[in-house]
Chain A
Amino acid sequence: MELWAVFPPLFGFLMAFLFGKQMGDKGAQLVTCAGIITAAFVSCMLFVEVIYGNDGHGDPRTVHLMTWMASGAFAIDWSLRVDQLSVVMMCVVNIVSACVHVYSVGYMSHDKCKARFMAYLSLFTFAMLMLVTADNLLQLFFGWEGVGVASYLLIGFWNHKDSANAAAIKAFVVNRVGDFGLALGVFAAFVLFGTVQFDAMFALAPEKANEVISFLGIDIHAITLVALLLFMGAMGKSAQLGLHTWLPDAMEGPTPVSALIHAATMVTAGVFLVARMSPVFEYAPDALLAVTLVGAATAFVAATIGMTQFDIKRVIAYSTMSQLGYMFFALGVGAYPAAIFHLMTHAFFKALLFLGAGSVIHAMSDEQDMRKMGGIWKMIPTTYVLMWIGSLALAGVPFFAGFYSKDIILEAAYADHTWFGVLAYYMGIAAAIMTAFYSTRLLFMTFHGKPRAEKKVMDHVHESPSVMLTPLMILGVGAVFSGWFFYEKFVGHHPMWGDSIRGMDAIDAAHHVPYWVKKLPIAAGTLGLVLGWVFYLRYTSLPGKFVKAFKPVHTLLFNKWFFDELYTALFVKPSFALGKLSWASDRNIVDGLGPDGVAKASRGVGRILSRFQSGYVFQYAFVMMIGLIAIVSWFYFKMTNGQG
């Protein structure tokens, strides 16, 4: 049964990819959607079995498939590990993916390459499933890079656009920088533990807790090193501050891609990695400190940028980055279940927001700039309502899904009682204000006020077909109910995790924080909503005045803190310059001193040789044969003399 939750998307991909032409668009859509819906149903059944099985104790299992590679002690299997953590991920991935698949049938109806698009979506889903069901770090790496490639293919799906191609390459290469860390992390884990299989590593972690390893000439606490290197990979994939520059650009891809990959699933792989490795991270307090700080900084910085952007998808992208920051500082303070809880609720409401934005873009004839929208809420009421649901869930308004998960994260951060935990709490509160603010800003700019689009566009505004709205409604249900429904199971007093992740004590502590700590996030969210209302609905001249008054700050934020410019100057340009320099030295120094120099010196010989270039093959062959015979016979005589 486990196979049925993972391999149907692969089958769908292969069919649509190889036989897309023969099957036609309808066939390709059918086979990929059927594959993913099957997988979604089976993973829900697995969820029940794994969580509630064995009389409620949980029934995790691992299915061995085949050997991948074995080199000495480094033996790796293909297998499916289905425990409490991975089954949650499987459900999230498969359900969101199924919604996105169906939605894409409508969204991409005007595109020429439907089969290819559906195939890539299924490929992505398969890679993501392999990632979350990995039983060792290497299979995880397979899924990790697999989703990276699918993301590359889908960002650059409209491959005639230069901006899309550039964004695709940027995404892949920046992720590779993270993967550089991840690969070194796998190496270090192997050197330390002698294996990269999860259970074995977890069992060995306590006894390796005091070991020291020499890395780049520095002696460093071994587990901390492993954790930090793995976290570097997580930073790349989950767009954490420093390695985040690819995510906003990735919005070049079609909107369903942004919803599936760059909001709900792939970008959360980093969170999953840290949670999966939690038994190891527990022994690396310094690494956890780094995780907390990076997470808190990301939550804050991304929110500040999100307030200033005008592209509707980029606003949501920065919001995604910010929410991922929340998840990371939850991991950092050891509240792993809280991070996964937020990952799950976020997947629903953020996919909803993206697909809703897609519905808006679809209605507005592919317009993404919010300055050219406005006044359309009556024309697309269903989308409007669903966008409100998503935004309220994102802003953490009580009883929506995001409220429960964000609260437990903030409480856990405060309950950690370390300086960085408390710092993360306050930065999280600040980010929560901004989150609510940019959410309402997005809603009011997009739907309310006077229409700012051209008349031709306005005449064409229409509600999306039901094939697009149905998935939105399913996600809407998740965005409303998944919070309170799963609260007890995920982060309640008797959570369901079994041995799959650590951090229950952090969750316990989170339940016992002062009253104001629990209520401050609600106040923050309300403040943000009110501010958004004041700025963008009540007194619409305020934003302009504000920007003027705080010009330098706004410039910094609007230009995304100048990360792109910095990286271009620091890494991209020097690489190409170095490349040119090396090439020049190849031609001038290496060749100049070597073969060409020698050739010049022996030009005379060359002239004689050139006479032999008569063009007859047999002459060449003959000359060469004579040469060889000469060499061999010289060798032969030398031998005989040596003997004699």
Chain B
Amino acid sequence: MDFPILSLLTFLPLVGVAFILMIRGDSETVARNSRRTAMFVSSFTFILSFYMLLLFDPKEAGFQFVEKIEWFDALNISYHMGIDGISLFFVMLSTFLTPICVLASWKAVTKRVKEYMIAFLALETFMIGTFCALDAVLFYVFFEGVLLPMFIIIGVWGGPRRVYSAFKFFLYTLLGSVLMLVALLALYLQTGTSDMVTLMENPVARDMQMWLWLAFFASFAVKMPMWPVHTWLPDAHVEAPTAGSVILAGVLLKMGGYGFLRFSLPMFPEATEFFTPMVMWLSVIAIIYTSLVALVQEDMKKLIAYSSVAHMGYVTLGIFTATTQGVEGGIFQMISHGVISAALFLCVGVVYDRLHTREIARYGGLVKNMPKYATIFMILMLGSVGLPGTSGFVGEFLTLLGAFQVDTVIAALATTGVILGAAYMLVLYRRVVFGEQKNKDAAEMTDVDKREFIIFVPLVLMVIWLGVAPSYVMDRVAPAANKLLVNYYAAIGSEMPSNEPIKVELKKHTAKKADDHGDHH
């Protein structure tokens, strides 16, 4: 690739940061200009990423747009970037959500606007970098870098208990990361390279894999978050400003799942096979346990945060089934959840901006004074419930289908999450949007304004488009996911299950047979 599009994408937001730093004038002007600059830069980044999406070759299973420059020459560490079908849509998700976040903070954030926008643009750089990096050291720098702006966003612009939450978030994630760092170190010392592509192609010895797998798992499980290391998430969400929650739920959680796909499965296949039952059971516990917890929440953001943990449970479940449907479903579920949960947090943000409370009981009957809001919320709620025709269904269904092929007990238990998920979301919606208008101040709130409407339109359209025609995404994910699985099964020395071409062949034959049969009568 001649044109370093990935580097450009990654560092473009930092250029925006530089521009914002240069803004001078009275505080009013600074705030206005920082907003505009951030909006312009993040939109431009999104357009650029869209261009990249058009250039992306959907049939190619390997990495594309690869850039490789020697970095620490003597150490064999390089600046190595590239994306494949697995990372492509996470990059898109990051660039898609950042301008939405900037727009969502337009009026909600009034103090230290300049710094806020800087934090968000820096965050975007780190997010995109994480998904593009193909060198473990580079990956680590980006992966950890994300923590800084997020920590600041929660700690400075958060709610009353922001300091507790910010530290809880930071320490939890850092604890996992330190273990990952040690593992990276060990991996490097063992193999002499930090190049992820090389590491994927040459897995280390089985004993070593076990320890490394566990260390990486610590980091990714916290990020995901998996049960029982999920408790930082509800706190972080509750205290974070709306846009912070959006990025947290929309992109940051996906780094865990991405890590499993990039490190655990390809680099430590034998260990993955060994630990699979544990991960699957943890996922099932997460789905049922956090769904039940969500059922009794009184705080809107906490409820959605717990539902995120449950939805991420489907992701880990799917990925570790090591079936085509499970892995593709897991990836799709992450993308879908990135859109839906981001939009749901924005929904909470809309009413929070007006009434400054997240307590469910303080609302009610909003459908009367906020009909547009009620409609938007309804569609997103149904997406979260996993209604067929919305994006939520595709991921959920495929991961469960994958799980059923591996273990019916786990699949049956996980499928109960579908019932519980419907229960808690419908109850939330009923208490907030339906019913009598018991609270006067809630009844006087105004409907979504033009700016808010513009924020929601692309999100709602995405939810429906991904639900009706997920094949656009899945066609691009499939080659990379297939390659991952082929290598995985080759490494653990067993045969890969479901085989695509034979099934299609079979279908055509039987259809023909049925026709012949009909003609004879």
Task: Tell yes or no: B90 within 8 A of A by CB.
Answer: no
Contact A617 B181 (CB under 8 A): no
Q: A180-B416, A576-B296 are in contact. Are A204 and B510 (CB under 8 A)?
A: yes
Task: Tell yes or no: B450 within 8 A of A by CB.
Answer: no
Give the residue of A172, A187, A594 whose beta carbon is less than 8 angstroms from that of B400.
A187
List B residues 482-507 near A (Cβ within 8 Å). Answer: 482, 498-500, 502-504, 506-507
Give the residue of B367, B412, B482 whose beta carbon is less than 8 angstroms from that of A159.
B367
Interface string of A591-616 (1 = CB under 8 A from B): 10011001000000000011001010
Task: Tell yes or no: A32 within 8 A of B by CB.
Answer: no
Contact B426 A172 (CB under 8 A): yes
Band of interface residues on A: 35 or more
Interface string of B177-194 (1 = CB under 8 A from A): 000010001001100000
- Alpha-carbon distance between A126 and B148 when the two chains are bound, in angstroms: 49
Contact B418 A184 (CB under 8 A): no
List B residues 352-399 near A (Cβ within 8 Å). Answer: 365, 367-368, 382, 387-389, 393-394, 397-398
A436 shortest CB reach to chain B, Å: 38
Interface string of A42-82 (1 = CB under 8 A from B): 00000000000000010000000011111111110000000
Contact B518 A586 (CB under 8 A): no
Contact A142 B148 (CB under 8 A): no
Contact B514 A71 (CB under 8 A): no
- Alpha-carbon distance between A162 and B434 when the two chains are bound, in angstroms: 8
In the complex, chain A residues whose CB is within 8 Å of the CB of B75: 639-640, 643
- Alpha-carbon distance between A615 and B323 when the two chains are bound, in angstroms: 49
Task: Tell yes or no: B107 within 8 A of A by CB.
Answer: no
Contact A71 B422 (CB under 8 A): no
Contact B296 A173 (CB under 8 A): no
Contact A70 B475 (CB under 8 A): yes
In the complex, chain A residues whose CB is within 8 Å of the CB of B328: 71-72
Task: Tell yes or no: A491 within 8 A of B by CB.
Answer: no
In the complex, chain B residues whose CB is within 8 Å of the CB of A190: 401, 404
Contact B411 A187 (CB under 8 A): yes
Task: Tell yes or no: B74 within 8 A of A by CB.
Answer: yes
B71 shortest CB reach to chain A, Å: 11
A157 shortest CB reach to chain B, Å: 11
B398 shortest CB reach to chain A, Å: 6
Task: Tell yes or no: B521 within 8 A of A by CB.
Answer: yes
- Alpha-carbon distance between A226 and B75 when the two chains are bound, in angstroms: 58
Give the residue of A68, A71, A197, A635 whose beta carbon is less than 8 angstroms from that of B469.
A68
Contact B420 A575 (CB under 8 A): yes
- Alpha-carbon distance between A190 and B507 when the two chains are bound, in angstroms: 12
- In the complex, which residue of chain A has the Cβ closest to the Cβ of B119? A617
In the complex, chain B residues whose CB is within 8 Å of the CB of A156: 430, 434
- Alpha-carbon distance between A160 and B374 when the two chains are bound, in angstroms: 13
- In the complex, which residue of chain B has the Cβ closest to the Cβ of A617? B115
A223 shortest CB reach to chain B, Å: 16
Taking each of A71, A141, A190, A624, which has the highest tally of chain B beta carbons within 10 Å of its own beta carbon?
Answer: A71
Contact B411 A184 (CB under 8 A): yes
- In the complex, which residue of chain A has the Cβ closest to the Cβ of B404? A187
- In the complex, which residue of chain B has the Cβ closest to the Cβ of A639? B75
Interface stretch among A92-100, A212-220, A341-349? Answer: A212-220
List B residues 271-327 near A (Cβ within 8 Å). Answer: 289-290, 292-297, 323-325
In the complex, chain A residues whose CB is within 8 Å of the CB of B422: 172-173, 176
Interface string of A191-229 (1 = CB under 8 A from B): 100110101101110000000001111000000000000
- In the complex, which residue of chain B has the Cβ closest to the Cβ of A166? B430
Contact A195 B293 (CB under 8 A): no
- Kindly count the residue-residue contacts between A and B in the assembled complex, taking CB atoms under 8 Å apart: 235
- In the complex, which residue of chain B has the Cβ closest to the Cβ of A188? B404
Contact B232 A69 (CB under 8 A): no
Contact B418 A183 (CB under 8 A): yes
- In the complex, which residue of chain B has the Cβ closest to the Cβ of A144? B388
Give the residue of B228, B423, B470, B475 whose beta carbon is less than 8 angstroms from that of A590.
B228
In the complex, chain B residues whose CB is within 8 Å of the CB of A418: none
Contact A194 B292 (CB under 8 A): no
In the complex, chain B residues whose CB is within 8 Å of the CB of A591: 231
In the complex, chain B residues whose CB is within 8 Å of the CB of A141: 388
Contact A169 B510 (CB under 8 A): no
Contact B155 A632 (CB under 8 A): no
List A residues 126-142 near B (Cβ within 8 Å). Answer: 138, 141-142
Give the residue of B292, B398, B415, B436 whose beta carbon is less than 8 angstroms from that of A575.
B292
The SS class assigned to the B binding surface is: helix
B4 shortest CB reach to chain A, Å: 23
- Alpha-carbon distance between A408 and B134 when the two chains are bound, in angstroms: 70
Task: Tell yes or no: A570 within 8 A of B by CB.
Answer: no
A87 shortest CB reach to chain B, Å: 16
Q: A160-B435, A169-B427 are in contact. Are A74 and B295 (CB under 8 A)?
A: no
Give the residue of B151, B471, B518 whose beta carbon is less than 8 angstroms from that of A69.
B471
Task: Tell yes or no: B145 within 8 A of A by CB.
Answer: yes
Give the residue of A191, A217, A625 whose beta carbon is less than 8 angstroms from that of B409.
A217
Q: A74-B325, A187-B401, A582-B293 are in contact. Are A200 and B510 (CB under 8 A)?
A: yes
Contact A620 B151 (CB under 8 A): yes
Contact B510 A173 (CB under 8 A): no
- In the complex, which residue of chain A has the Cβ closest to the Cβ of B162? A613
Task: Tell yes or no: B210 within 8 A of A by CB.
Answer: no
- Alpha-carbon distance between A149 and B429 when the two chains are bound, in angstroms: 14
Contact A191 B405 (CB under 8 A): yes
B12 shortest CB reach to chain A, Å: 20
- Alpha-carbon distance between A172 and B75 when the two chains are bound, in angstroms: 60
Task: Tell yes or no: A513 within 8 A of B by CB.
Answer: no
List A residues 224-256 near B (Cβ within 8 Å). Answer: none
Task: Tell yes or no: B161 within 8 A of A by CB.
Answer: no
Contact A199 B296 (CB under 8 A): no
- Alpha-carbon distance between A337 and B332 when the two chains are bound, in angstroms: 41
Task: Tell yes or no: A505 within 8 A of B by CB.
Answer: no
In the complex, chain A residues whose CB is within 8 Å of the CB of B189: 642
Interface stretch among B166-174, B261-269, B334-342, B343-351? Answer: B166-174
Task: Tell yes or no: B23 within 8 A of A by CB.
Answer: no
- Alpha-carbon distance between A67 and B394 when the two chains are bound, in angstroms: 13
Taking each of B189, B434, B506, which has the highest tally of chain A beta carbons within 10 Å of its own beta carbon?
Answer: B434
- In the complex, which residue of chain A has the Cβ closest to the Cβ of B413? A216
- In the complex, which residue of chain B has the Cβ closest to the Cβ of A169? B426
- Alpha-carbon distance between A498 and B520 when the two chains are bound, in angstroms: 11
Task: Tell yes or no: A477 within 8 A of B by CB.
Answer: no
Task: Tell yes or no: A578 within 8 A of B by CB.
Answer: yes
Contact B163 A67 (CB under 8 A): no
- Alpha-carbon distance between A149 and B77 when the two chains are bound, in angstroms: 54
Contact A216 B498 (CB under 8 A): no
Task: Tell yes or no: B513 within 8 A of A by CB.
Answer: yes
Task: Tell yes or no: A580 within 8 A of B by CB.
Answer: yes
Task: Tell yes or no: A273 within 8 A of B by CB.
Answer: no
List A residues 387-401 near B (Cβ within 8 Å). Answer: none
In the complex, chain B residues whose CB is within 8 Å of the CB of A575: 292, 295, 420, 423
In the complex, chain B residues whose CB is within 8 Å of the CB of A203: 510-511, 513-514
Contact B471 A70 (CB under 8 A): yes
Task: Tell yes or no: A621 within 8 A of B by CB.
Answer: yes
Contact A631 B144 (CB under 8 A): yes
Task: Tell yes or no: B462 within 8 A of A by CB.
Answer: no
Task: Tell yes or no: A534 within 8 A of B by CB.
Answer: no
In the complex, chain A residues whose CB is within 8 Å of the CB of B507: 75, 195, 197, 200
Task: Tell yes or no: A538 within 8 A of B by CB.
Answer: no
Q: A499-B518, A635-B181 are in contact. Are A624 and B499 (CB under 8 A)?
A: no
List A residues 622-644 near B (Cβ within 8 Å). Answer: 624-625, 628, 631-632, 635-636, 638-640, 642-643
In the complex, chain A residues whose CB is within 8 Å of the CB of B400: 183, 187
In the complex, chain B residues whose CB is within 8 Å of the CB of A75: 503-504, 507
Task: Tell yes or no: B32 within 8 A of A by CB.
Answer: no
Contact B387 A149 (CB under 8 A): yes
List B residues 89-137 near A (Cβ within 8 Å). Answer: 112, 115, 119, 137
A-B contact pairs, 8 of them (CB 8 A): A68-B471, A73-B504, A160-B368, A165-B434, A216-B412, A583-B293, A624-B152, A642-B185
Taking A73-B504, A142-B388 as known contacts, 4 extra A-B pairs with beta carbons closer than 8 A to each other, sorted by chain A number, are A180-B416, A199-B511, A586-B293, A594-B229
3 cross-chain pairs, A with B, having the tightest CB-CB distances, nearest first: A72-B324, A73-B503, A187-B404
